[in-house]
Amino acid sequence: MKATIRGKAYVVGDNVDTDQIIPARYLVYNPAIPDERKMFGRYALSAVPTAQAGLPQGGVPFVKENADKSEFAVIIGGKNFGCGSSREHAPLALREAGVEVVVAEFYARIFFRNAVNGGYLIPFETDERLCEKIRTGDEVEVNVPAHTLKNLTTGEAFALKPLGDILPIIEAGDVFAYARKSGMIP
C-alpha cells in the first residue's frame, strides 16, 4: 500500500453508476486476457454525460481518444459512487486507466467491495462535498495513513474518513492475500 498518492483530480457528481464507469457493450472483453484488459482503461468513464464529465466545467474526456490511460490519477465523486450493476469491470477499468484512489461521500455497496477485495483502488469516504470544492485538473495529494487530502493547486486540506474494517484487506493487497495472511486459505 502506497502512503501517498499524488496526481490530477477528475471530478464527477452524484450517482455515477457502473454503466457510466464502463458501458455494458465493452463487457464482452475478458479481464483475464491482458490485451483485452487494457480496453477497460480505454473506455473508463466514457458514458458519463458530457455536461457532467469533469466538473465544474464539463466536457472533459477522462481518457483521450485512442489512449489506454488517463492523465487523472484521483477521482472525486459525490454520493453513491458506483451504484448499479455488480460488474467488477468498473473498479478494474478505473485502475487500468491509472486511478489509484477515489474519494466520494459514500459508495454503493458492491462497487466498494469489489474495489477493496479485488485490490484495484482505495475507496475513501468523506463528509465534505469535495465534488463542489475541487476542480477537474487540480493537483491533489492523498495521504493514506493520515486519511487526508490536500489540494496542491489551492492549498486547501480536507479530512477523509478512516478506512476502518477494510484497512487490513487494503494493507494485505486484496482479499486473497488477506485470507492467506490470516491462515484461512493456503
What span, in angstroms and rounded, lies between the C-alpha atoms of 82 and 33?
A: 24
The set of residues, in sequence order, having a beta carbon less than 8 Å from that of 181 and lying 6+ positions away, is: 172
| Tally of CB atoms within 10 A around 66 | 6
CB 1 within 8 Å of CB 171: yes
CB of 32 to other proteins, least distance (A): 2
Residues that bind other proteins (CB under 8 A): 15, 17, 19-20, 23-25, 27-33, 36, 47-49, 79-80, 83-89, 106, 108-110, 113-114, 117-119, 165, 174-176, 179, 184-185
CB of 156 to other proteins, least distance (A): 26
Min dist. Cβ of residue 139 to other proteins (A)? 29
Q: Which is nearer to other proteins, 48 or 101 (CB)?
A: 48
Which contiguous run of DSSP H or E holds residue 5? strand 4-11
**Which residue number, 1 or 27, has a Cβ lying nearer to other proteins?**
27
Minimum CB–partner distance for residue 35 and other proteins (Å) = 11
State which residue, 108 or 131, has the beta carbon closest to other proteins.
108
How far apart CA 138 and CA 8 sit, in angstroms, is 6
- To other proteins, the closest distance from the beta carbon of 102 in angstroms equals 15
Nearer Cβ to other proteins (68/166): 166
CA distance 60 to 63: 9
Residue nearer to other proteins on the CB measure, 72 or 107? 107
Given a contact cutoff of 8 angstroms between Cβ atoms, the answer to whether 87 and 120 are in contact is no
**Shortest separation between residue 47's beta carbon and other proteins, angstroms:** 4
- In this structure, are residues 140 and 6 in contact, taking their beta carbons and an 8 Å threshold? yes
Cα gap 34→112, rounded to integer Å: 24
Please measure the distance between the N-terminal and C-terminal CA atoms of the chain and give it in whole angstroms. 22
